[in-house]
């Protein structure tokens, strides 16, 4: 039987498509070269569905149905589709009807080998009526018929050269292949035309959407009552499906109909299809928690009020879905992008973790990549996955796997300047399109992700003799620090990497951190000291107190050198307090429910002595 269109949706008038139907460019090329080329090799998006005009209407069908329509309009009397190992008649006599005189058409139920297909193609080439055959799934044939394929290919190669046009048309052979190189290079000649079939463009997607959208709840009612809003939603649907094929668009419409989603919520249907998330998790965030985020973040990251405020502004903008809204009404870029820069140990990573907990309510939505591990030319394969045929292909990429499993997440790319320049191409695609294709050909989406880059650019520079020379120092005020670091970042991306487009995508989302100042340093020390005492009580059930003078003495010692920021304070506290405390607790045989008083005595040379006294012991 003739193939029928795949879509079960009622056809729509071309007038409703805001203009008459215009076939895709590749199909117009076929019609233009019917009398010039004897064979067409179609590659790329061959398994998709395509809009087909039928009696003033437009519906959808497979590649075979699409070619059938083209050939019928140009007067072709016979059209066959070969799929291993059968031939189906698409234009011509159907079962029970008399066969054309002089042409032996294999029965639909018979097994057709490549040798038999070669005989049939040769007979068809010299047949008196315009005719054609589509060899479908051509890329699979070499695997199924390895021994026969080379001889079959050579027969059709000779046939392409020896074919004669009749009435300004060739009797045609169509190949449908996955990739350009699935047929050998020697097959190409002046009578064979290679035509790549791309994914549907904006115009074709409109036709597909206007056909498939009728199944979605509220589509027809909105078209009737508010055509302007309907038009806007169709345009949004078109924009949100950029890069998808027509079959996927129809699947989105089917998913929306299945979930009883109104057409006004078409963006949620697209999100569900792409991310596997039925609802928009950003709509479920507690706005009250975000409104109070300033105090929460400042309690976690001490002494960085400017960085906290700037970051929170970007987060609020992202939650309201206003990021990039000045450029596009339907942005598909990552939900938020932040670039943290500043001296080491000042809280860049801690702020990223704190933002994760503020937004997602859990540190589990935090993923970190140390970019110093991605400094080799092929490091991008670790992120995206190795291409087919290479070791590790089946494993996939670390980044693509992570975002596929948890699309609603914060991803930290730590010390971005240490990554290989090729990695910047990966980031450019994510920042531009909000998606990335893995080595396995799977597309993952970053629409619900927050990306955070950290960098130490502008803090040091390397001298000719290999030493590191400070470009900023704690004596500089915050304005000077911010200007120097921002200029260094711009210089790095613009001149050293020659990739200003990366910086352009980041925009004004560069958040500069200040040095840890003495006042903030003591507050950081007090917080760390409290953490030690709480951990001792929680894990070992041992109580510990310090008198005010001991806290002051210890604080002065551990905050004396702020070159390494908060990490330096923590390291000094560990050396001067945690290590001797642990030693004394062992010496005194401390056990659960013991209570100790600790005093710190300053010594010469900037050291201190720790004295521990048991004030109560456990109950026996």
What is the domain partition of the chain in residue ranges? Answer: 14-197, 202-279, 287-512, 518-616
| Fold annotation for 287-512 | Rossmann fold (3.40.50)
In the structure, what pLDDT confidence band is assigned to residue 109 with cuts at 50, 70 and 90?
A: confident
Nearest to 258 by CA among 217, 203, 209, 287: 217
The torsion angles phi and psi of 87, rounded to 5 degrees, stand at -120, 135
Q: What is the pLDDT of residue 12?
A: 36
The torsion angles phi and psi of 177, rounded to 5 degrees, stand at -125, 155
In tens, the pLDDT along 498-545 reads 989 998 988 889 999 999 888 889 999 999 999 999 999 999 999 999
| Fold annotation for 518-616 | Helicase, Ruva Protein; domain 3 (1.10.8)
Query: For the chain, what is the radius of gyration of the CA atoms?
Result: 34
In tens, the pLDDT along 139-190 reads 999 999 988 999 999 999 999 999 999 888 999 999 999 998 899 999 999 9
The more confidently predicted of residues 400 and 462 is 400
CA 204 to chain centre: 24
- Percent pLDDT > 70 in the chain is 93
CA distance 498 to 533: 50
Q: Mean pLDDT across the chain, nearest whole number?
A: 87
CB atoms near residue 49 (< 10 Å): 25
Alpha-helical regions (H) of 451-547: 478-491, 500-506, 518-540
In the structure, what pLDDT confidence band is assigned to residue 323 with cuts at 50, 70 and 90?
A: low
The CB-side HSE value for 353 (13 A sphere, CA atoms) comes to 11
Q: What is the pLDDT of residue 389?
A: 62
Cβ pair 175, 64 in contact under 8 A: no
The domains spanning 287-512 and 518-616 adopt the same CATH topology: no
In the structure, what pLDDT confidence band is assigned to residue 390 with cuts at 50, 70 and 90?
A: low
């Amino acid at each position: 039987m003739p193939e029928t269109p795949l879509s079960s949706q009622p056809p729509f008038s071309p007038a409703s498509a805001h203009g008459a139907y215009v076939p895709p460019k590749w199909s117009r090329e076929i019609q233009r070269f019917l009398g010039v080329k004897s064979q067409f090799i179609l590659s790329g998006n061959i398994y998709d569905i395509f809009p087909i005009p039928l009696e003033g209407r437009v519906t959808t069908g497979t590649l075979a149905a699409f070619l059938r329509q083209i050939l019928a309009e140009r007067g072709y009397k016979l059209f066959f589709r070969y799929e291993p190992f059968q031939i189906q008649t698409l234009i011509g006599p159907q079962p029970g009807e008399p066969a054309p005189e002089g042409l032996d058409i294999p029965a639909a139920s018979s097994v057709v080998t490549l040798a038999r297909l070669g005989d049939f193609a040769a007979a068809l080439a010299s047949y008196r009526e315009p005719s054609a055959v589509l060899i479908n799934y051509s890329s699979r044939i070499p695997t199924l018929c390895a021994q026969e394929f080379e001889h079959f290919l050579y027969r059709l190669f000779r046939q392409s050269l020896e074919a004669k046009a009749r009435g300004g048309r060739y009797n045609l052979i169509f190949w449908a292949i996955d990739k350009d190189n699935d047929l050998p290079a020697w097959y190409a000649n002046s009578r064979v035309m290679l035509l790549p079939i791309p994914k549907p463009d904006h115009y074709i997607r409109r036709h597909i959407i206007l056909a498939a959208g009728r199944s979605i709840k509220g589509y027809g009612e909105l078209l009737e009552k508010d055509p302007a809003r309907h038009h806007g939603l169709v345009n949004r649907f078109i924009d949100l499906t950029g890069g998808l094929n027509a079959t996927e668009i129809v699947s989105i419409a089917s998913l929306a109909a299945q979930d009883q989603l109104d057409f006004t919520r078409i963006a949620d249907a697209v999100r569900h299809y792409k991310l596997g998330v039925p609802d928009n998790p950003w709509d479920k965030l507690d706005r009250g928690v975000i409104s109070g985020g300033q105090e929460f973040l400042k309690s976690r990251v001490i002494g960085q009020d400017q960085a906290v405020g700037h970051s929170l502004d970007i987060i609020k903008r992202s939650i309201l879905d206003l990021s990039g809204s000045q450029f596009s009404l339907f942005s598909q870029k990552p939900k938020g992008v932040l670039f943290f820069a500043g001296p080491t140990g000042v809280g860049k990573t801690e702020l990223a973790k704190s933002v994760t907990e503020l937004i997602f309510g859990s540190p589990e939505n935090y993923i970190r990549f140390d970019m110093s591990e991605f400094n080799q030319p092929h490091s991008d394969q670790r992120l995206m996955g190795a291409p087919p045929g290479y070791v590790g292909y089946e494993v996939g990429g670390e980044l693509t796997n992570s975002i596929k499993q948890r699309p609603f997440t914060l991803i930290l790319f730590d010390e971005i300047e240490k990554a290989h320049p090729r990695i910047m191409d990966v980031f450019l695609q994510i920042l531009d399109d909000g998606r990335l294709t893995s080595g396995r050909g799977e597309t993952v989406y970053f629409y619900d992700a927050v990306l955070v880059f950290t960098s130490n650019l502008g803090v040091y520079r390397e001298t000719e003799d290999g030493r590191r020379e400070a470009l900023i120092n704690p004596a500089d005020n915050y304005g000077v620090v911010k200007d120097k670091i921002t200029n260094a970042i711009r210089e790095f991306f613009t001149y050293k990497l020659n990739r200003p487009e990366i910086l352009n995508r980041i925009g004004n989302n560069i958040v500069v951190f200040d040095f840890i100042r003495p006042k903030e340093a003591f507050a950081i020390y007090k917080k760390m000291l409290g953490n030690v005492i709480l951990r001792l009580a929680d894990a070992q059930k041992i109580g510990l107190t310090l008198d005010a003078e001991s806290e002051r003495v210890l604080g002065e010692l551990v905050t004396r050198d702020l070159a390494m920021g908060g990490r330096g304070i923590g390291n000094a506290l560990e050396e001067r307090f945690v290590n001797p405390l642990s030693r004394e607790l062992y010496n005194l045989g401390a056990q659960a429910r013991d209570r100790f008083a600790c005093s710190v005595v300053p010594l010469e040379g900037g050291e201190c002595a720790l004295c521990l006294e048991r004030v109560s012991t456990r109950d026996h």
